[in-house]
């Protein structure tokens, strides 16, 4: 049943008419639980609250299905605005973004041009930028652009997904860049030809790449809500005397907040992935797909209004 629900929500996440309709109705129907607001001003206030509790943030201006250069330029403008806001308010926050929102599906050249605009602003304000990973079709292109930009900028990282067969090979190829990587299980529906479909296999590969990246001496962001993976990471860093400034945990805004604070209190760096913007629908559907139990929270939120 859980797999059926996952596939259903992933199917909905790619529905363009639903995406456009969702923009008209704002953050209703439970989405506000996972999205900090529609404007950068709202996001800034949400970041301040988390920073006051000792939690750091990575801010993501949501956007999908870019159809033309103008839309990509507008998305870039919003990301630059977010970077300026982080710097001007002296927030403990990074920036995350998707290359499709920068125009990747139009051309790699457009995406690179827009990324350089953002990274130039990020250098000015000392803000780190992470390129989110998308589906398998765009994985290779994303890593190619990351490698190109990493040769030009220091303040950039990307994401590696444990459920892809190609992941270990990608990790080996990236190691020469001493990359700052966010390691995740993966949230897209992929063919069994390119990705593990069994949870135990995904978890095994996740543990493998966490160990691989940490022991290579690279900065590692372990992005998970899985207690077993968190415990594994803690034991690993203790066993190998890995310094606290070489890794962090990351979790999504609105999910397992008590655990986020618990890890912070234990002395671990805890970063909250905080999305904002009007184009929240696809992101929201993937959060429901990742953890169908979130549907209960959403239903409760709707009924209580």
- Provide the whole-model pTM: 0.86
Residue boundaries of the structural domains of the chain: 36-279
Average pLDDT over all residues of the chain: 87
Give the residue with greater pLDDT, 302 vs 103.
103
Name residue, tokens 């969702």.
22
In this predicted model, what pLDDT tens digit does every residue of 158-195 receive, in sequence order?
Answer: 999 999 999 999 999 999 999 999 999 998 889 999 99
> Between 199-215 and 167-174, two packed helices, what is the crossing angle to 10 degrees?
10
Mode of pairing for the β-strands spanning 247-252 and 270-276: parallel
Within 98-226, residue ranges assigned H as helices are: 108-125, 136-150, 167-174, 199-215
Q: What contacts 212, CB < 8 A, 6 or more positions away? A: 168, 171
pLDDT exceeds cutoff 90 at 68: yes
In this predicted model, what pLDDT tens digit does every residue of 96-126 receive, in sequence order?
Answer: 999 999 999 999 999 999 999 999 999 999 9
Query: Any idea which fold 36-279 has?
Result: TIM Barrel (3.20.20)
Mean pLDDT within 286-303: 50
pLDDT value of position 223: 97
Q: 76 is written with which tokens?
A: 């870039």
pLDDT exceeds cutoff 90 at 4: no
pLDDT exceeds cutoff 70 at 210: yes
What residues act catalytically?
132, 182
pLDDT value of position 284: 64
pLDDT exceeds cutoff 60 at 10: no
Local confidence band at 277 (pLDDT 50, 70, 90 cut-offs):
confident
Mean pLDDT within 113-142: 97
In this predicted model, what pLDDT tens digit does every residue of 17-52 receive, in sequence order?
Answer: 555 544 555 555 555 678 898 899 999 999 999 999
Other C-beta atoms lying within 10 Å of the C-beta of residue 239: 9
Q: What contacts 165, CB < 8 A, 6 or more positions away? A: 194, 195, 196
pLDDT exceeds cutoff 80 at 64: no
């Amino acid at each position: 049943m859980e797999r059926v629900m996952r596939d259903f929500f992933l199917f909905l996440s790619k529905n363009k008419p639903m995406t456009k309709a969702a923009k008209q109705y704002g953050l209703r129907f439970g989405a506000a639980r996972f999205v900090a607001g529609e404007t950068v001003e709202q996001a800034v206030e949400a970041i301040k609250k988390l920073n006051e509790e000792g939690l750091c943030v990575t801010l993501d201006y949501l956007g999908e299905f870019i159809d033309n250069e103008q839309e990509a330029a507008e998305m870039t403008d919003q990301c630059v605005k977010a970077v300026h806001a982080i710097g001007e308010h002296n927030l403990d926050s990074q920036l995350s973004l998707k290359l499709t929102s920068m125009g990747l599906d139009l051309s790699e050249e457009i995406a690179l041009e827009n990324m350089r605009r953002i990274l130039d602003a990020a250098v000015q304000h000392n803000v780190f930028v992470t390129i989110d990973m998308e589906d398998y079709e765009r994985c290779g292109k994303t890593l190619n652009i990351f490698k190109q930009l990493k040769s030009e900028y220091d303040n950039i990282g990307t994401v590696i997904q444990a459920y892809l067969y190609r992941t270990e090979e990608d990790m080996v190829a990236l190691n020469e860049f001493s990359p700052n990587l966010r390691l995740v299980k993966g949230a897209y529906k992929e063919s069994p030809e390119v990705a593990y479909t069994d949870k135990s296999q995904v978890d095994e590969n996740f543990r493998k790449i966490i160990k691989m990246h940490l022991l290579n001496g690279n900065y590692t962001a372990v992005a998970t809500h899985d207690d077993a993976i968190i415990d594994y990471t803690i034991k690993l860093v203790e066993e190998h005397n890995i310094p606290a400034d070489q890794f962090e945990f990351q979790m999504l805004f609105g999910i397992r907040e008590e655990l986020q604070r618990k890890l912070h209190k234990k002395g671990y760096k805890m970063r909250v992935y905080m999305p904002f913007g009007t184009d929240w629908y696809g992101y929201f559907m993937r959060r429901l797909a990742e953890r169908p139990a979130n549907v209960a929270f959403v239903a409760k939120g709707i009924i209580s209004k």
